[in-house]
Amino acid sequence: MDLRETIIAARVAARHLAALTGAERSKLLEDFAAALLRPATQEAIVAANAADMANARLAEERGELDPALTKRLGLDAAKLAAVADGLRQLGAMPELVGRVTTHRQLDDGLILRRVTCPLGVLGVVFEARPDALVQIAGLAWKSGNAAVLKGGREARASNRALTDVAHQVLRAHGLDERALVLLEDRSDVDALLAMDDLVDMMVARGSSQFIHHVRAHTRIPVMAHADGICHLYLHGAADPAMAAHIAIDAKCSYPAACNAIETLLWDPAAGAALDACVAALGARGVELRGCAETRRRHPAMKPATGADWDTEYGALTLSIRQRDNLAGALAHIAAHGSRHTEAIVTEDPVAAERFLAEVDAACVFHNASTRFADGYRFGLGAEVGISTDKLHARGPVGVEGLLTYRWLLAGSGQGATDYGPSGRQYLHRDVI
């Protein structure tokens, strides 16, 4: 079957998913979670991932693969347990498909409802993180959508193994396995981008260059998960111990994550907080690159260049820059941030409120690590990505971001010309 016929079949499968009851969709997710935790299944997935990891390390040694991608590629029993738990969380969440968000009486016997419904077919291109395949599939099924996925070629064996499990679960529920389609050839992505009559939304996760390519080659609406150039700003009223704890978590807990910080900004009055961060980060092996003002305080630090402020390292490397005040920090973030996640450390509520109000990013935090920017941690169960766009969803995108709505009107023979200055008057009375 060629790709277009496959996507047509996926569109039919999407209608069947949408027609399931909430309980049936929840059972689908529970069974997917259970399947991933079966010992034989885990053994097959981990073996496939080991093959991918071996190839990735060879590619890294040849200089063909970014080490950050290799780190994201790993999939072990603990990570499988985490994604299975995410599927269970999704299954237990309230049903959002078919939810009435407006219920309005236009007139006696004329009732209008706005009801949530699936988008239809989602095209998702994501990086070399095989656990993302499970999260995306789970969210698609919970929202009643079919999904057409293209993962990084580095995770090919892992993605195949996970897709096989998903297909087994779909078949066991009497559903077409093309409710989840895995693409493997890069040429298939460009072919998919031309199918604006069949695909309802593209989710693009990757570099800005890749997202520009996707947007330039399709008329399908695109939700972008772009670069994660995140900042932590140490305000003059920052507590040093808190600052060091947050900096370590935001940089070291998972350096390859898109919500890890890449730049530390500090106020001249935050010297003690900076010193605490530098000592803690240095002890964890982080390579620090500082501006001239920072290096005057810490001469052993490597000098930062202008390129550092626009670099997503995805590794244990951090650039540090002094800004004269809060306004200077805000200006730096506006110029160099990727609208992903930004954070301030301060005990000054006025400064915190200004930072929260003025930073233009999907997630803005006060006295908390940027690593909290995550669908699982937000209680969404999982995420298809962290949208750095403003329409139609922003930040971690869970089930709600994969739904649209329909307007349903039930009348009793009325015509629009029955209403007006010389006819009947609308009641426009909200029932809920």
Instruction: Kindly report, residue by residue over 221-275, the tens digit of the pLDDT.
Output: 999 877 799 999 999 999 999 999 999 999 999 998 899 999 999 999 999 999 9
The predicted pLDDT at position 383 comes to 86
3-state secondary structure (DSSP) of residue 181: strand
The predicted pLDDT at position 239 comes to 98
Q: How many CB atoms lie within 10 A of CB 391?
A: 8
DSSP state of 308: G
CATH among 3.10.129.10, 3.40.50.300, 3.30.420.40, 3.40.605.10 for 3-226+388-406: 3.40.605.10
The predicted pLDDT at position 143 comes to 97
Closest CA to 54 of 125, 157, 134: 157
DSSP string, 316-369: SEEEEEE-SSHHHHHHHHHHH--SSEEEEE-S-HHHHHHHHHH--SSEEEESS-
The predicted pLDDT at position 303 comes to 98
The predicted pLDDT at position 403 comes to 96
The predicted pLDDT at position 62 comes to 92
Token reading at 340: 């992903």
C-alpha angle with apex 372: 67 to 318, nearest 5 degrees? 45
Point out which residues pair with 118 in neighbouring strands. 403
CATH among 3.30.2350.10, 3.30.420.40, 3.40.980.10, 3.40.309.10 for 230-372: 3.40.309.10
In this structure, the strands spanning 180-183 and 110-118 are unpaired
The predicted pLDDT at position 170 comes to 98
3-state secondary structure (DSSP) of residue 85: helix
User: 30-51: b or e for each residue (b if 16 or more CB lie within 10 Å)?
Assistant: bbbbebbeeeebbeebbebbee
Point out which residues pair with 322 in neighbouring strands. 266
Residue 140 CA: distances (Å) to CA of 125, 145, 217, 415: 14, 5, 24, 39
The predicted pLDDT at position 210 comes to 85
Closest CA to 153 of 193, 194, 180, 188: 188
Residues 6+ apart with CB under 8 A from 12: 176
Phi-psi region of 330 (alpha: psi -120 to 50; beta: other; left: phi over 0): alpha
pLDDT digits (tens, 9 = 90+) for 268-297: 999 999 999 999 999 999 999 999 999 999
Mean pLDDT split into 10-residue runs, the chain, 432 residues:
92 97 96 97 96 94 85 90 91 95 96 97 91 95 97 94 98 98 93 97 86 92 88 98 98 93 98 98 98 97 97 95 98 96 98 98 97 90 86 90 97 96 95 81
The ranges assigned to domains in the chain are 3-226+388-406, 230-372
The predicted pLDDT at position 1 comes to 59
Q: d(Cα 39, Cα 45) in Å, to the nearest integer? A: 10
Q: d(Cα 352, Cα 370) in Å, to the nearest integer? A: 15
Closest CA to 197 of 393, 7, 401, 14: 7
